[in-house]
Amino acid sequence: MSTIIEVSNLSFSYPTEEGKAAHRVLHDIDLKIEEGEFVAILGHNGCGKSTLAKHFNGILKADRGSVHVLGMDAGDEENLLEIRRNVGMVFQNPDNQIIATVVDEDVAFALENLGIPHDEMARRVDEALELVGLSEYRQRAPHMLSGGQKQRVAIAGILAMRPKCIILDEPTAMLDPKGRKEVMKTILRLNREEHITVVLITHYMDEAVQADRVIVMAEGEMILDDTPREVFQNVGLLHSLSLDVPQTAELMFALRQEDIKVPISVLNVDECVAEIEKLLGGGEND
């Protein structure tokens, strides 16, 4: 396995108007993302998670420290095209990232920019639309699609580049539950079946629990970096950061506070039911 993204000692401030003190958004971040991983990043708005993500493909440049993508320095202008081809990015608002007026032409946009020959381009557009399940919609106008479909068009537009890694910055925040499910299914499939590295920024815990690794950020620093099971044990800490915890984990936490012995790491409904059964059954056997 090779390292996709390596961030060391990264600090960043947005340039401010004159007179005001620069607001430091990221503090000394160290992070490694390996090939094939599915990483979720959590944190409240303004904690720096989107800013961090924008360093992964050179949209922003580090003030201090460095970002290497596939061994290439993201601070070097020369590498940018190659980096962006390998690390694609999908944003929150699907309307603001679709460029063309027909679905397949939009998917082809990146390929046109990269100067891919026509026949190869046509093959890749077909393949990308197939992967997100929108082959029948190729001739449609994007503004006539649902939010979930638009977001899948945006993902296809990245996939067409055949990247090693996709970064998704709150891709489901503006979608309804149906659209969210569609997009999550697509993301999971890309990671599990196509072995594409995924970095998912989200507020939804039910999405984060599906990742291999969860990073929690606050005030420009990484607070937690572990498996979802380990991360969601820190119910108190997550609450203090105003983050959600899956209701099932929260129930376990509440019971423990009453000195009822239950494991802390419960993520889904079935696990939770099993634990409560043990608890009640155990009581009867006493």
Partner 1 sequence: MIKTEHLSHFYSVGTPFETVAIEDINLHIKKGEYVGVIGHTGSGKSTLIAHFNAILKPTSGKIFIDGKDLWSEDKKQRIQTRFDVGLVFQYPEHQLFEETVYKDIAFGPKNMGLSEEEIHRRVEKAMRFVGLSESVLEKSPFDLSGGQKRRVAIAGVMALEPKVLILDEPAAGLDPMGRDEILGRIREYHQETGSTVLLVSHSMEDVSKNADSILVMNRGRCQMHASVPEVFERADELEKMGLDVPRITRVFFALQDKGYPVSRNVFTVEQGKAEITRLLKEGGKNHA
Partner 2 sequence: MLKDITLGQYFPVKSFMHALDPRMKLLLTLLYVVALFLVSDFWGFLVAAFLIGLVASFSKISLKVVFRGLKPLVFIIMFTAFFNVLYGGGEPLFPQIEWLSWIKTDGVKNAAFMIIRIILLILGTSYLTYTTSPVMLTDALERLMRPLKIFRFPVHELAMMMTIALRFIPTLIDETDKIINAQKARGADFETGNIIRRAKALIPILIPLLVSAFHRAEELADAMECRCYHGGAGRTRYKIYSLGWRDWVALGAMVLSFAAIIMLRIY
Q: Which residues bind partner 2 (CB under 8 A)?
A: 54, 57, 59, 81, 84-85, 88-89, 91, 93, 95-102, 104-105, 108-118, 121-122, 125, 141-143, 154, 157-158, 161
Rg (CA), the chain: 21
Least distance between partner 1 and beta carbon 263 (Å):
14
Which of partner 1, partner 2, none lies near 174, with the C-beta cut-off 5 to 8 A by kind? partner 1
- List all residues 6 or more positions away from 140 whose beta carbon is below 8 Å from its beta carbon: 102, 103
Q: Interface residues with partner 1 (CB under 8 A)?
A: 44-46, 92, 146-147, 173-174, 176-179, 203, 242-244, 246-248, 250-251, 254-255, 258, 260, 269-270, 272-273, 276-277, 279-280, 283-284, 286
- List all residues 6 or more positions away from 67 whose beta carbon is below 8 Å from its beta carbon: 5, 6, 7, 10, 55, 56, 58, 73, 74, 75
Query: Per-residue b/e over 75-86, b at no fewer than 16 CB within 10 Å?
Result: eeeebbeebbbb
Least distance between partner 2 and beta carbon 19 (Å):
24
Which of partner 2, partner 1, none lies near 79, with the C-beta cut-off 5 to 8 A by kind? none
Which of partner 1, partner 2, none lies near 237, with the C-beta cut-off 5 to 8 A by kind? none
Least distance between partner 2 and beta carbon 122 (Å):
7
Q: Cα dist. 227→36, 37, 39, 212, 281 in Å?
A: 15, 11, 9, 6, 30
29 vs 205 by CB, closer to partner 1: 205
Tokens describing residue 190: 């890309």
Which of partner 1, partner 2, none lies near 101, with the C-beta cut-off 5 to 8 A by kind? partner 2
Q: How crowded is the C-beta side of 129, counted as CA atoms within 13 Å?
A: 20
Q: What is the residue type of 283?
A: G
Tokens describing residue 4: 């996709």
Q: Which residue has the tokens 């915890």?
A: 245
Which of partner 1, partner 2, none lies near 202, with the C-beta cut-off 5 to 8 A by kind? none
Tokens describing residue 69: 């993508």
102 vs 269 by CB, closer to partner 1: 269
Which of partner 2, partner 1, none lies near 108, with the C-beta cut-off 5 to 8 A by kind? partner 2
148 vs 228 by CB, closer to partner 2: 148
